Amino acid sequence: MHRTYLLCACAACSCTRPQRKSFCMSRIASVLLPMPLPEAFDYAEPEGMGLELGDQVAAPLGPRLLRGVVVGLREAAGGNRPLKPVESRLEEPRLPPGTVEFVQWAARYSVDWPGQPLAIALRGARAPKPRPVRLVEITGARPARPTPARAKVLDAAGAQHRSPADLARAAGVSSGVVKALINEGVLAVRLVDEEAMFDAPDPSRPGATLNASQAAAAADLRTMVTQGGFNVALLDGVTGSGKTEVYLEVAAAALAADPTAQVLIMLPEIALTQAVIGRVTARFGAEPGEWHSDVAPPVRRRVWEAVATGRCRIVVGARSALFLPFQNLKLIVVDEEHDASFKQEEGFIYHARDLAVARGKIETAAVVLASATPSLESLRNAEQGRYRWLRLSTRHGGARLPDIELIDLRESPPDHGRWISPTLVRAMGETFARGEQTLLFLNRRGYAPLVLCKACGERMTAPDTDSWLVEHRYSGRLVCHLTGFSMPKPKACPHCGAHDSLVSIGPGVERVEEEAKSLFPQARVAVFSSDTVFDAREAKRLIEAMADGQIDILVATQAAAKGHNFPNLTLVGVVDADLGLRGGDLRAAERTYQLLAQATGRAGRKDRPGRALLQTWAPEHAVMQALRAQDRDAFVAAEMSERELAGLPPFGRLAAVIVSGVDHVQLEAFVLAMGQAAPNAAGVEVYGPADAPLGLIRGRRRKRFLVRADRAVDLSAFMATWRARVKPPASVRVAIDIDPYSFL
């Protein structure tokens, strides 16, 4: 049965009324729970508990005990309202003050409940503890039957404590020898809780040899880091210019300047982590902590605790690593800062690049944003002098950028039933004949993006969702990439019942792979996408195979388009260069330029010049012309001009409101009322409500508002005021997206 508590705030407990438990409370603790709740809850601090800010505690909420974090403490004098007490303080690392402040700031900026980012910050603390490890130690007893094998085991056991299997390997004997010594009592096994004992990085180890441009950038950034305080720098370097070597030298400077300093390196793709971890390990002689969704929960907990206690000084991870409880964070590196993968679109909605700058300010840490194609927001901040702007304009080691050509598909279309044009096929043949590699780039997973019935015209969609089902030949299933729904491909149309009438429309990477194999049957062809590479280890294996020359033609999505160095890759063919320009995305031109510049930049290195061919139906488009001329500055200037005229980012601010519900009538009435409740504010324009492009997802109808504001407007405060004016029905959900990247 759930217990209730009656508490008094008097100097001495003189209350005489019957109560199940009574005590004096000296302070009130505000406890934030990792749940979608609007604020922290007040609890009484039991006498002698001695809570501190950031402590993890067990606190009652209804009939349950929940983990929470103390975010405020105040004296209880003058208060007489009954409060439930904190049940206990958990014997786990407390969240440092910077982490607590960052969590609360992130919630205010994103206009969300503070428990949402707290849930991310506690993800490692709530993971299961690793199982205790079995270690062997010598008891002092002598074996009844000494043998050379047993002597080897005892010699090896004296050096350090090992598991039975490790001890057998170290001694060069079978596991049966170790087991016999344990049974005799010569060796004893004890269970030990395993801690993540990260070796200390050595910043004095020699780094890579830097060219003049890299050395100048590294020197400037070293000065920024060693001087201390909050600063942001944009490391703007062409593909292959050696940005990683530069920021690793900056990390070395941060670690050398402070023996407790911690460094966070953030990456947009899990596929990139293994390569960067290898480079960090080679530079500092110690492996960093690894943090992303593929890390097993017990390992995640070890890393979380090691970060919180300062034992882990370098972390390489995805966007959620930004919420780790760093004790002394001195440097944040956001690699490929332009990448849309840094935007979290579900649950707590945030952009990790923007929040990295905020956390740097809270922690008084340096922030380095690195990219070959920086976002317009970062470029604008650099132009205005808010960020230091360091440019690497040449490739490392004397390599030059690839030559880029446009293939006008109106003049040189693929053969019927194919997707690779004759011009690209010839280039692939020449490349294969020279023993060099080709990358075929298409940012579309699966075999075909659309399956329809040729008898009735029915388009296959996911149940209760407007999203088309994508055919995957590897698994023989139709998959919704939005909701995760999948089903076997039916033999008959579910709508009209016609047999063998379902046809695949358009290409995905699997279909392009099939075509490449038919064109070059002797070539070794592989696919790199999230459907074929399931985790970071598999990505590392495929990347190493490509780097070692074990693959002739790699067909890939954006997973292979950034950060990788393939020495023998000399040809990049973009199958559908226009793909990203379709639809109503306000950032379509910028994102297409960034993605294709990154993809084409994989071609060519020092001794092998590269070439890139882009198949397009619109070669006259400004993005295609800028890519062909490799004139990023001209493209940026034109795009900036258009954005400035429209008051769009980076010259203005955007926010989106996504409202969803199961009852269409109720939803329509609510969004109309919400639109009327929008505050009147100078410099703010509210558009909508309108049907979302994807109007139905998982059975919920969706409506959208779009808000545009001048730069001087506190957009978060405006959105918070608007949200406070409306109370949605229980079945209606309202999500606010500050600085949206998706307009679906």
- Closest by CA to 438, choosing from 627, 613, 240, is 613
Rounded CA separation 704/179 (Å): 66
Is a pLDDT exceeding 80 seen at residue 559? no
Per-residue pLDDT, averaged over 91-119, amounts to 96
Q: Is 165 helix (H, G, I), strand (E, B) or coil?
A: helix
Give the start-end residues of each E strand in 346-476.
350-351, 366-371, 388-392, 403-408, 437-441, 450-453, 470-472
Tell me if 399-444+507-641 shares its fold with 652-738.
Answer: no
pLDDT at residue 558, as a whole number = 82
pLDDT at residue 606, as a whole number = 61
pLDDT at residue 543, as a whole number = 85
Report the amino acid identity of residue 381.
N
Per-residue pLDDT, averaged over 363-383, amounts to 96
With vertex at residue 228, the alpha carbon angle to CA 300 and CA 392, rounded to the nearest 5 degrees, is 80
Rounded CA separation 577/595 (Å): 10
Alpha-carbon separation of residue 405 from 18, 237, 313 (angstroms):
87, 22, 45
Is a pLDDT exceeding 60 seen at residue 7? no
Q: Which helix (H) or strand (E) holds 418?
A: none
Q: Is 29 helix (H, G, I), strand (E, B) or coil?
A: strand
**Domains of the chain by residue range:** 25-96, 133-192, 212-397, 399-444+507-641, 652-738
Is a pLDDT exceeding 60 seen at residue 20? no
Give the start-end residues of each E strand in 459-568.
470-472, 477-479, 486-488, 502-505, 525-528, 553-556
Q: What is the pLDDT of residues 600-657, one digit of tens each?
A: 888 876 667 889 999 999 999 999 999 999 899 999 999 999 999 999 999 999 999 9
Q: What is the pLDDT of residues 483-494, one digit of tens each?
A: 888 899 898 998
Is a pLDDT exceeding 50 seen at residue 205? yes
**CATH fold of the domain at 25-96:** GIY-YIG endonuclease (3.40.1440)
Q: Is 179 helix (H, G, I), strand (E, B) or coil?
A: helix
Rounded CA separation 739/111 (Å): 12
Mean pLDDT, the chain, rounded, equals: 88
Domain 399-444+507-641 architecture: 3-Layer(aba) Sandwich (3.40)
Q: Is 72 helix (H, G, I), strand (E, B) or coil?
A: strand
Rounded CA separation 386/184 (Å): 71
Q: Which helix (H) or strand (E) holds 375?
A: none
Is a pLDDT exceeding 80 seen at residue 159? no
Structure tokens given for 532:
């074929």
Is a pLDDT exceeding 70 seen at residue 508? yes
Give the strands of the sheet with 733-738, arranged side by side.
684-697, 700-710, 652-661, 733-738
Alpha-carbon separation of residue 208 from 7, 186, 205, 257 (angstroms):
64, 50, 10, 20
pLDDT at residue 307, as a whole number = 96
Higher pLDDT, residue 289 or 145: 289
Is a pLDDT exceeding 80 seen at residue 77? no
Compute CA 729 distance to the chain's CA centroid, rounded to the nearest angstrom.
33
Q: What is the pLDDT of residues 411-423, one digit of tens each?
A: 999 988 899 999 9
pLDDT at residue 183, as a whole number = 87
Long-range contacts of 460-464 (CB under 8 A, 24+ apart): 460/494, 460/502, 464/696, 464/697, 464/698, 464/699, 464/700
Instruction: Specify the CATH number for 652-738; select among 3.40.50.880, 1.10.10.10, 3.40.1010.10, 3.30.70.600.
Output: 3.30.70.600
Is a pLDDT exceeding 50 seen at residue 15? no
For residue 64, list its beta bridge partners: 61
pLDDT at residue 557, as a whole number = 87
Report yes or no: 369 and 387 within 8 Å, Cβ to Cβ: yes
Per-residue pLDDT, averaged over 215-242, amounts to 92
Instruction: Specify the CATH number for 212-397; select among 3.40.50.720, 3.30.2090.10, 2.40.128.110, 3.40.50.300.
Output: 3.40.50.300
Q: What is the pLDDT of residues 584-604, one digit of tens each?
A: 678 889 999 998 998 888 887
Percent of the chain residues topping a pLDDT of 70: 93
337: left (phi over 0), alpha (psi -120 to 50) or beta: alpha
Structure tokens given for 133:
């490890």
Other CB atoms within 10 Å distance of the CB of residue 191: 10
Give the start-end residues of each E strand in 360-519.
366-371, 388-392, 403-408, 437-441, 450-453, 470-472, 477-479, 486-488, 502-505
Q: Which helix (H) or strand (E) holds 696?
A: strand 684-697
Rounded CA separation 628/405 (Å): 6
Is a pLDDT exceeding 90 seen at residue 538? no
pLDDT at residue 291, as a whole number = 94
Q: What is the pLDDT of residues 607-618, one digit of tens each?
A: 678 899 999 999
